[in-house]
Amino acid sequence: MWNFSTDSDFQQKLHWMETFIKQEVDALDLLYPSWSVVYNTQHKASRAILKPLQEEVKKQGLWACHLGPELGGKGYGQVKLGLMNEIIGRSLWAPTVFGTAAPDTGNAEILAMFGTQQQKDQYLQPLLDGDIVSCFSMTEPQAGADPKEFQTTATRDGDHWVIQGQKWFSSNARFAEFLLVIAITNPEAPIHQRMSMFIVPKATPGLKILRNVPFMMERSELEENTEGYLHYDNVRVPADHLLGEVGGGFAVAQARLGGGRVHHAMRTVGQCQRALDMMCERALSRRSQGSLLADKQAVQHMIADSQIELEQFRLLVLKTAWIIDNNHDNPKAARAHISMVKVAMAKIYHDIVQRAVHLHGSLGTTLETPLAHMWMQVPALALADGPTEVHKNTVAKSVLNQHQPYESLFPSEHIPTKLEALRARYADIIGNHS
């Protein structure tokens, strides 16, 4: 049953989060507006501000809420997590403050679901405590995220696995204490059974960072580069660093993506709402040609289009979260909706942020508002977690699977054919009343 209300106790938590982020977390966004500081656990000044904020979040019972109670979280369902991430998404630092920063959230879920107790003690607990960060090392320079084209291999050698190959866009590898790496262990197996996942400690010999690639707006001269281009040069890891089963790497990787995409989408909702708020404030504050921008019909249309599109997208994301919450026994139930969210997300973000930039005029093109940072994220949204086109294919196949071909010369909605059948069915009635 659909229910669009939020229980009052949880709504109070959401209100607290909004106030806390505006009054406390925004300071970090202004002081250190770079991913390279967010994930650098050795940056002393930012950590001195961050740690007390994280402790306050823990006191409120809002730390790492995506995890179950046995791991210190609340075990919230996807709808509640979505509503939280809508608020968290407005801030660069808020995910770290609330213990929900990617890729650490997904990596923590993988370790919680598939890790041995020893792996959890060694890697999961420090990650949950916020003392370290991690890396998810999957994509490859010649393949992107297409597992059919992966070349990195892991070969069993006695009590070790030997990993050989290159990985691309391994975010935050330079700061990570460990990496979760997908490698081919049986090249002859079907694609879904071809790969395995391994925990690779950062200090393992043979693990080389060829370069840290700067993301858009990251400056190499300030060492802000965060996307690792890695070479696994005969990297040897103990056999007990296999995560899950041999050949189970694809299933392990997929387990982290569904909920993560919902959270990412709701954070995008938060970013879009922030851009819309800025747009409205600008329209009510700025005068042009003798009247407020808010009085211009073109500006009103921009604001109306943004509000309508954002509301539609938000409801799509929340419905997707609702489907996940109500289908724990069927992880594929929300697959098509997750892809719908992924496809819609990039366009919504692009359109709303572009309007906000346009309405701010020259100021919107500078680094003196958050809009430039938002605009630089637009292309990534169309590529992260798989290109938009791949997800469109998923949606189309899902829709087509719900339909059947019609074995006739004319389609099922052919009016003359339907009329002929109806006239035959009601011939007596029509004849008696003609």
Q: Where are the alpha helices (DSSP H) in 286-414?
A: 297-325, 335-359, 371-381, 388-401
Domain that holds residue 335: 256-401
Residue 193: how many other CB atoms lie within 10 Å? 17
166 and 260 in a single domain? The answer is no
Same domain, 238 and 275: no
How does residue 274 score in pLDDT terms, banded at 50, 70 and 90? very high
Same domain, yes or no: 395 and 270: yes
Query: Do 241 and 263 have their domain in common?
Result: no
User: Within a domain: residue 353?
Assistant: yes
Q: Is the dihedral of CA 238, 243, 248, 252 positive or negative?
A: negative
Q: Is residue 110 part of a domain?
A: no
Domain shared by 184 and 55, yes or no: no
CATH number, residue 214: 2.40.110.10
Average pLDDT over residues 296-304: 98
- If asked whether residues 274 and 392 sit together in one domain, one would say yes
Q: Does the pLDDT of residue 52 top 90, yes or no?
A: yes
Look up the CATH number of the domain holding residue 94. Answer: 1.10.540.10
CB 42 within 8 A of CB 119: no
Comparing 182 with 379, the larger pLDDT belongs to 182
User: Residue 295 has what pLDDT?
Assistant: 97
Query: How many structural domains does the chain have?
Result: 3
pLDDT score, position 279: 98
Q: Are residues 214 and 285 in the same domain?
A: no
Could you tell me where the DSSP H helices lie in 133-286? 249-255, 257-285
**Is 431 part of any domain?**
no
Mean pLDDT of 312-321: 95
Please state the φ and ψ torsions of residue 56, each to the nearest 5 degrees: -65, -40
Structural domain includes residue 328:
yes
Alpha carbon separation from 284 to 33, 55, 129, 354 (Å, rounded): 28, 38, 44, 18
Specify if 129 maps to a domain.
no
Query: Is 381 inside a domain boundary?
Result: yes
Cα radius of gyration rounded to whole Å, the chain: 25
Query: Could you tell me if residue 23 is inside a domain?
Result: yes
Out of 214, 247, 280, a domain closes at: 247
pLDDT score of 257 more than 80: no
Mean pLDDT, rounded, for 272-297: 97
pLDDT tops 60 at residue 214? yes
Residue 420 lies in a domain: no
* 303 pLDDT more than 80: yes
Are 194 and 143 found together in one domain?
A: yes
**Residue 330 reports pLDDT greater than 90:** no
Please state which of the ranges 70-84, 315-329, 414-428 shows the lowest mean pLDDT: 70-84
For residue range 83-127, list pLDDT tens digits in order.
999 999 999 999 999 999 988 988 988 998 899 999 999 999 899
